[in-house]
Amino acid sequence: MTISVLPKRDELGVKGGQLYIDGVWTDASDGGTWTHKNPATNEEVTTFAVGSAEDVDRAMKAARKAFDEGPWPRMNARDRKAILQRLVGLIYDHKDELAQLQTLDNAIPIAFNSMYQVGAEVTADVFDHHAGWIDKINGDTIPHYTGNELVTLTFREPVGVVAAIIPWNAPLFLFAQKVAPALATGCTVIVKPSEHAALAILRLTEIIEEVGLPPGVLNVIPGPGASTGEALITHPGVDKISFTGSRAVGQHILSVSGDGLKRVSLELGGKSASVNFPDAPDIGLAAMTAMGMVSMGMAGQGCVIQSRALVDKTIYDEFLSAAESLIPMVQYGDPFSYETTSAPLINPRQLDRVMGYIASGQESGARLVAGGDRPGGDLSAGNYVNPTLFADVDNSWPIAREEIFGPVLSVIPFADEDEAIRIANDSPYGLGAGVYTSDIKRAFRVAKAIRAGTIGVNEYAVAPNAPFGGYKTSGLGREGGWPAIEAFTELKTVFVGLQ
Ligand code: NAD
């Protein structure tokens, strides 16, 4: 059987896409397009318009006008909230279609797409959560300090025009993580989806159109980072850049945004550790979870994937054999089949990169327990790598330090809790970590000692109301919950003299 995603494309009625600027769908000013290929087969799925610098400028003028003069930032809380709440219902109504489009984008298996963390349901919930803040974005009254009697107040005001730049691995959820708080606070937005995953976002934009945002409040311009993205981040009209993607691009954004002192939030990569103690509630389950995180679902292409498994020496062999036992459960194949558990890599360039890391692991001296090669047959047209398990890894090697973004687990032994914490923290990244133990005191000790934005004790979750973000080079700022509202607002202090 040869896999093809084209019948699903036809069934979904996908026929390319345009830019959405100032409330109007339009082609690119220079006629530029991108041909989208699905990574499961590398078939050409469709073409869509990509924004030129001129299109970015047009979107900026629209977003600026909508912010500086339009009703959205000035709308009362009840009306703005009602608009976003209508959207929540619409996203739920279209959740199956959106999930399928996301699979057409990035070949994340439809079974995984239907799970909470990446699908349309969490997207709706993120809008719902942020809509709930709209009538609660309060300032403070501050005690009079000294001198003439004054009333001192703070106001929280929208930060302005937001450039939201999104990666390909969870486009719907990450669109919502930026657009929902931006709209909730009264900002206007220009979204640049990844060139590798724009179809679900374009459809979501059509759905958003139905709720009747004023023109210019939301603009969506797909395109490559080097052209469309660069035009957006360097445009003087941007007040804030909210970026999710790789560390290298995040660092570049930070350096170019110095000019206008743009506000910047960065959600970047990770090299998260799981720390597996002998008193884990279920050592076999912890090991299968570690292997499953890198090989099921997005096949390791997730920012918080725990791709370094730190394992106490006394349970090392037991852990390795349980991790290996998970591998036969990985099923590659048609991403629209519910039998398929795992995704291919996003493109041939990423495939080469992951194969390069596997070679580097072997050169460093890691013990290859499983994988390290590519599947053949029907799968050879897609960007697949077999689930790969490396043992006896030294934390100084590139496979333990760099974000591989593929189905590769590095297992590292430790002697005691102090050594485990030292290895977990010996990383330029600090996005997430897992602690597997039944000892509540140890759980808190280790969770407090690890310098990372989110720690899962025996379990890990994504929740719209929980802050998420990175320590160290994993990012700047937080999404989710009240911190997201802070990230999209400025704080103004007003003194009122009573003399
Ligand atoms: P990427 O950095 O290559 O691209 C991300 C986005 O930035 C894309 O839209 C891309 O077109 C754009 N871009 C690239 N160069 C640009 C430039 N010069 N100017 C402006 N925009 C530019 O990342 P990716 O491969 O799409 O995604 C994978 C990365 O994202 C991984 O590092 C992963 O860890 C990270 N990620 C982080 C989180 C998080 O919440 N921390 C979530 C998901 C993914």
Span 231-276, pLDDT tens digits: 999 999 999 999 999 999 999 999 999 999 999 999 999 999 999 9
**C-alpha distance from residue 111 to each of 96, 114, 126, 331, 489 (Å):** 11, 5, 21, 12, 37
Closest protein CA for atom 11 of ligand 1: 225
Per-residue pLDDT at 276: 98
Is the pLDDT at 2 greater than 90, yes or no?
no
**Residue 243 belongs to what H/E stretch?**
strand 240-244
**Residue 360 belongs to what H/E stretch?**
helix 348-364
Closest protein CA for atom 42 of ligand 1: 303
Confidence of residue 166 (pLDDT cuts 50, 70, 90): very high
| Closest to 272 (Cα-Cα) out of 245, 303, 298, 296 | 303
Per-residue pLDDT at 338: 96
Q: Is 458 exposed, middle or buried (0-12, 13-18, 19+ CB in 10 A)?
A: middle
Closest protein CA for atom 40 of ligand 1: 267
Q: What is the mean pLDDT of residues 285-308?
A: 97
Taking each helix axis from N to C end, the angle separating 440-449 and 417-425, rounded to the nearest 10 degrees, works out to 30
Per-residue pLDDT at 41: 97
Most ligand 1 atoms within 8 A of CB, residue of 50, 56, 165 to mutate: 165
Atom in ligand 1 nearest the alpha carbon of residue 248: 2
Q: What is the pLDDT of residues 383-425, one digit of tens each?
A: 999 999 999 999 999 999 999 999 999 999 999 999 999 999 9
Residue with token string 């460093």:
364
Confidence of residue 462 (pLDDT cuts 50, 70, 90): confident
d(CA 420, CA 348): 35
**Mean pLDDT of all residues in the chain?**
97
Cβ-contact 412, 323 below 8 angstroms: no
Q: Which amino acid is at 434?
A: G
Q: Which two structure tokens, joined as six digits, stand for 207? A: 């759905």
> Angle 235-240-245 (CA atoms, 0-180°, nearest 5)?
90
Per-residue pLDDT at 473: 98
Ligand 1 centroid–CA 247 distance in Å is 8
Per-residue pLDDT at 270: 98
Q: What is the pLDDT of residues 44-102, one digit of tens each?
A: 999 999 999 999 999 999 999 999 999 999 999 999 999 999 999 999 999 999 999 99
| Closest to 452 (Cα-Cα) out of 278, 273, 305, 313 | 273
d(CA 294, CA 307): 6
Cβ-contact 495, 152 below 8 angstroms: yes
CATH of segment(s) 273-469 = 3.40.309.10
Q: Which of 303, 324, 402, 479 is labelled catalytic?
A: 303
* Phi, psi for 245 (deg, rounded to 5): 170, -155
Residues in the chain: 499
The DSSP string of 101-150 is HHHHHH---HHHHTSTTTSHHHHHHHHHHHHHHGGG----EE---SSS-E
Per-residue pLDDT at 343: 98
Ligand 1 centroid–CA 243 distance in Å is 7
Is the pLDDT at 1 greater than 70, yes or no?
no
Closest protein CA for atom 12 of ligand 1: 225
Closest protein CA for atom 34 of ligand 1: 269
Most ligand 1 atoms within 8 A of CB, residue of 246, 351, 354 to mutate: 246
Other CB atoms within a 10 A radius of the CB of residue 145 amount to 7
Partners of 192 in the β-ladder: 165
417 an active-site residue?
no
Atom in ligand 1 nearest the alpha carbon of residue 245: 30
Fold equal for 6-268 and 273-469: no
Portion of the chain with pLDDT greater than 70, in percent: 100
Per-residue pLDDT at 196: 97
Q: What is the pLDDT of residues 335-360, one digit of tens each?
A: 999 999 999 999 999 999 999 999 99
- What is residue 403's three-state secondary structure? coil
Q: What is the pLDDT of residues 10-28, one digit of tens each?
A: 999 998 999 999 999 999 9
Ligand 1 centroid–CA 105 distance in Å is 15
Most ligand 1 atoms within 8 A of CB, residue of 162, 303, 404 to mutate: 303
Confidence of residue 113 (pLDDT cuts 50, 70, 90): confident
Q: What is the mean pLDDT of residues 211-216?
A: 97
* Phi, psi for 62 (deg, rounded to 5): -65, -45
Closest protein CA for atom 39 of ligand 1: 267
Instruction: Return all residues near 311 (Cβ < 8 A) that are at least 6 apart.
Output: 276, 319, 320, 411, 412, 413, 414
Atom in ligand 1 nearest the alpha carbon of residue 469: 41
Atom in ligand 1 nearest the alpha carbon of residue 194: 9
Per-residue pLDDT at 61: 98
Residue with token string 């194969």:
355
* Phi, psi for 494 (deg, rounded to 5): -125, 125
Closest protein CA for atom 31 of ligand 1: 246
Ligand 1 centroid–CA 416 distance in Å is 36
Other CB atoms within a 10 A radius of the CB of residue 53 amount to 16
Domain ranges of the chain: 6-268, 273-469
Is the pLDDT at 117 greater than 90, yes or no?
no
Instruction: Return all residues near 461 (Cβ < 8 A) that are at least 6 apart.
Output: none
Q: Which of 267, 324, 402, 479 is labelled catalytic?
A: 267
**What residues flank ligand 1, with Cβ below 6 Å?**
165-170, 192, 194-195, 224-226, 229-230, 233, 244-246, 249, 252, 267-270, 303, 403, 405, 431, 470, 475
Domain boundaries 6-268, CATH class: alpha beta
Atom in ligand 1 nearest the alpha carbon of residue 167: 26
Instruction: Return all residues near 334 (Cβ < 8 A) that are at least 6 apart.
Output: 3, 5, 40, 340
Strands 432-436 and 273-276: parallel
Cβ-contact 404, 351 below 8 angstroms: no
d(CA 393, CA 450): 20
Q: What is the mean pLDDT of residues 425-445?
A: 98
| Closest to 82 (Cα-Cα) out of 126, 120, 132, 136 | 132
Q: Is 55 exposed, middle or buried (0-12, 13-18, 19+ CB in 10 A)?
A: buried
Atom in ligand 1 nearest the alpha carbon of residue 267: 41
Residue with token string 């087969």:
41
Ligand 1 centroid–CA 117 distance in Å is 18
**Residue 152 belongs to what H/E stretch?**
strand 150-158
Atom in ligand 1 nearest the alpha carbon of residue 170: 43
303 an active-site residue?
yes
Closest protein CA for atom 13 of ligand 1: 225
Most ligand 1 atoms within 8 A of CB, residue of 202, 268, 405 to mutate: 268
Q: Which amino acid is at 137?
A: I
